Structure 1
Amino acid sequence: MTTFKKRWLVPVAMTVFAAYGNANTNTNTNTNTADRALEVVAHTSQAVWNAVAVDSAGKVYVSGPRWTGMKGPSVSRLDASGEPVAFPDARWNSDDASIPASQRFINVNALHQDDRGQLWIVDAGVTGFGGHVIPGGAKLVVVDVQSGKTVKVIVLDSTIAKDGSYIDDIRFNGDHAYLSDAGVPGIVVLDLKNGSMRRVLENTPATHAPADRDIILSGKVVRAPDGTALRVHSDPLETSIDGKWLYFAALEGPWYKVETRLLNDAALAPESLSASVQFWRDLPPVGGTAMDKQGNFYFSDLATDTLKRISVSGNIESIVSDPALHWVDAPAFDPQGRIYLPAAQVDRVGLFNGGTSKVQWPLKVFRLDVSKPSTR
């Protein structure tokens, strides 16, 4: 676990950044929060689904990394009864070591659709949480959801997915895609036209987990296997609706933004790009984000089991708060504008609890129509 300790964990005093400290107490109440109907789309007593996607036909896809202790397929499409079916097929979801790492899922961390309806599967390709990247394991698997066929596999070589990297999530803007690295801090810029990739913003504090911000859930600091307070570097990210900005943060926050035109400029000096990064928002620890078609920014406030929204006017409002929404990770919208919320309970898996799982089964994926008014 040497790499894990060096790159993921920062031994620090138990200090919580004052700007959000009061929000870091999980009250599990609906005070000042709209009561809305949470519909259970699927549930499982084996898998830890931390990501969800919904295609144009309304079919739901779920995934989770194996280091959580989950069983079953890494990536599934839910059938009509909500049961998971290996996607795109059983071979991709096999744990058969004779299959090359570039041709099977190792530790899938994210799902996201592009504007062509293709499903992009982000595989960190690591031996385990905080572990080493397996050669050929870190990759992007692109699947056509209509045919279920793999369109392409983009393997991230050792200059992009470094030893200790944990390629975390992906967002798109025109001819470029952006990925976060939660292990070795930085952002990866992928040119979708020519396939070239670059690591950027490695030496800016914006991609590094602050030393003085803890992840506190249910009144407890989330701790890594060695007992130190967990630190997760550049993790959630989102592009603005007009494509002008990339918003990004360490899991603990705060959030920053940078113009995508600068990220896309391969000739721009690293120091100039770093100097262009701007502070955006001081948000509490965020599990995952989603942007609706109107440009409203949704995020899961991990400390309070709450889905919140930053409206296009800039106001932050609580949409729904419920103990069942514990560690909502990577949400997604369906074509009808309903948001899907995978309550992954990541902090309760055995890895963060001395080897004993505290997960409250079954885990559930919820759906919420955010366009409907409060039922109160």
Structure 2
Amino acid sequence: MKRITQSCVALLFATFEALADGNSNFEVLTNLETGPGNVTATANGRIIMSQHQFYQPQYTVVEYKDQTLVPFPNKEMVAADSTAAIKLDSVLGIRSDSNGMVWMLDNGMRSGVVPKLVGWNTKTNKLQRLIYLPAPIAPKDAFVNDFALDLNHNHAFISDPAGGNNAGLIVVNLVTGAARRVLEGHASVIPENIDLIIDNSPIQVKTATGETVRPHIGVNPITEDLNNEWVYFGPMHGLSLYRIKTADLINESLSKTELAARVERYSDKPISDGISIDKDNNIYLGDLANNAIGVITPDRRYQQLAQCPRLSWVDSFSFGSNGQLYAVVNRLHRSAILNGGDDQSKPPYFLLKVKALAEGLPGR
């Protein structure tokens, strides 16, 4: 892998005027031969990535180390109470915490297995937590995708776009392993009737009957502020970002109606995938239709930080140990799955470093 440190505009135009328009707000840290899924960075500087299942990778999780990718974990995962090995199937969501745990959300879709949340302790190099998400917590059409971690309340909050109208959030107690499905079918999680069109081509999925349809995907982006007060989320195919107080989300005594009433619309947003947040509550996201990186500032206004042809489906923002903000480019709209069965997605894919407006929490 070749390390690249120039911004897109510097590479394409090499002019001072181009650099002045904001595209110097990111750099390509390295080229990738396989399409990445999500990225996280540990407090001690390790960079861990899932590899997107749409590209049928050999390893579903890898570590970027010495300018190359190595399988992660680097040893077989065995549950503490069992001699059976735990296999990772289709990890997308991945986060790390301040205790040295890397949490991996395995949707199980490649092999049709039960989704699970897996916690790997990087200090002991052992499997520490395994939480299964069976039906009806994760229904038959579940696509558990991304999540936010909250060690203050010992919970994880998972986004599941599912089939669209049954999209919802999954609230997981990391201590007991108990999980609840909440806000299913609520306006804040179901997709809006809008198409995603990138470079003049619509996202299309080929059905079992050979027809092509334009999918509308429900809740996907999700994050929590650094004070563990608000959880922010919204449908991928949606132009609104919502939030709810963490205390309400973990309050099991609230009825469905009461919980739904606690959701508030926060701001406008573009069609977007993964998001992250910094200490000043700037929310970073990929502006998919415009090949751009954007930010929602604390005044609840959206603006672009950078726009470039290289920013071709920017996904999964995550802060590192020294204030770095990482993201990936995976060109999912050119994959066979989202391009009507025609695979036009080619490497290089990218691991990015984004110039953040403020520092964030490593792993978030």
**TM-score by shorter chain over 0.5:** yes
Contact 2:205-2:337 at 8 Å conserved across structures: yes
Deviations, residues 119-159 of structure 1 (Å, cap 9, x unaligned): 1101111147xxxx42xx30011112234322111111222
- Displacement, 1:360? 3.1
Which letter maps to 1:159? Answer: P
Aligned mate of 1:177, from 150, 153, 156:
156
In 1, the alpha carbon distance for the partners of 2:88 and 2:190 equals 27
| Structure 1 partner of 2:35 | 48
Distance 1:241 1:56, change over 3 A: closer
Q: Does 1:259 align with 2:240?
A: no
Deviation at 1:179, TM superposition (A): 0.5
Matched, 1:163 2:163: no
Note if 1:294 corresponds to 2:276.
no
Contact 2:205 2:341 in 1 (8 A): no
Corresponding position of 1:119: 102
1:218-270 per-position Cα deviation (integer Å, ceiling 9, x unaligned)? 12221112311111111111112322221111101222222221111101111
Aligned partner of 1:324 in structure 2 is: 310
Find the residue that maps to 2:70 and give its secondary structure. Answer: strand
Residue of structure 2 in register with 1:107 after alignment: 90
CA–CA distance in 2 between the matches of 1:205 and 1:311?
23
Task: Kindly state the Cα deviation for residue 280 of structure 1 after the two structures are TM-superposed.
Answer: 1.7
Q: Is the CA contact 1:51–1:330 (under 8 Å) kept in the aligned structure 2?
A: yes
Q: Is this contact kept in 2: 1:292–1:337, CA < 8 A?
A: no
Shift in Å, 1:348: 0.8
> Which of 148, 151, 171 matches 2:128?
151
- Secondary structure (helix, strand or coil) at the match of 2:127 reads strand
Match of 2:189 among 203, 207, 210: 207
Within 5 A, what are the aligned runs for 1:1-80? 33-36=21-24, 38-45=26-33, 47-66=34-53, 68-80=54-66
In the alignment of these two chains, the number of paired residues is 327
**What's the counterpart of residue 340 of structure 2?**
354
SS of the aligned residue for 1:61 comes to strand
Mapped pair 1:279 → 2:274:
no
Q: Matched residues in 2 for 1:36 and 1:354: separation?
A: 34
- In the alignment, residue 219 of structure 1 is paired with which amino acid? N
Please state whether the residue corresponding to 1:286 is helix, strand or coil.
Answer: coil
Secondary structure class of the residue paired with 1:36: helix
- After superposition, the Cα gap between the structure-2 partners of 1:218 and 1:230, relative to the gap in structure 1 and judged at 3 Å, is same
Gaps (5+ residues) in structure 2?
Answer: 1-17, 78-82, 359-364
Of structures 1 and 2, the one scoring higher in RCO (CA 8 A, sep 6+) is: 1
Match of 1:225 among 186, 206, 224: 206
Find the aligned partners of 1:225 and 1:90 in 2 and give their Cα distance. 38
Residue 275 of structure 1 deviates from its aligned partner by 2.0
Unpaired runs of at least 5, structure 1: 1-29, 93-98
Q: Structure 2 CA distance, aligned partners of 1:288 and 1:160?
A: 22
Aligned to 2:3: none
Amino acid paired to 2:105: V
Q: Is the 8 A contact 1:201 1:270 kept in 2?
A: yes
Displacement of 1:90: 6.0
Corresponding residue for 1:26? none
Which amino acid is 1:291 matched to?
A: I
Return the match for 2:73 from 71, 88, 92. Answer: 88
| Paired residues of 1:139 and 1:156 also in contact (CA < 8 A) | yes
- Local SS of the residue matching 2:289: helix
C-alpha contact 1:33 1:318 (8 A) present in aligned 2: no
Shift of 1:32: 8.5
- The answer to whether the 8 Å contact 2:40/2:318 transfers is yes
- Cα distance change of structure 1 residues 31 and 182 upon mapping to structure 2, 3 Å threshold: farther
Task: Tell whether the 8 Å contact from 1:50 to 1:328 is kept in structure 2 after alignment.
Answer: no
CA RMSD after TM alignment? 2.4
Q: Structure 1 residues 69, 75: closer, same or farther in 2, change over 3 A?
A: same
For residues 41 and 158 of structure 1, do their structure 2 counterparts lie closer, same or farther at Cα, with a shift above 3 Å needed? same
Partner in structure 2 of residue 191 of structure 1: 173
Amino acid at match of 2:203: V
Which structure's residues are more often strand, by fraction? 2
Q: 1:42–1:83: 8 Å Cα contact kept in structure 2?
A: no
**In structure 1, distance between residues paired with 2:244 and 2:333:** 30
AA partner of residue 144 (structure 1): N
Sequence identity, in percent? 23
Report deviation, 1:112.
Answer: 0.8
Q: Partner of 1:347: helix, strand, or coil?
A: helix
CA–CA separation in structure 2 for the residues paired with 1:294 and 1:276:
23
1:244 maps onto 2:229 in alignment: yes
TM-score by length of 2: 0.83
Instruction: Give me the whole-angstrom Cα distance separating, in 1, the residues matched to 2:107 and 2:20.
Output: 38
- The one-letter amino acid paired with 2:291 is D
Q: Where does residue 119 of structure 2 map in the other structure?
A: 142
Tell me the CA shift for residue 31 of structure 1. 10
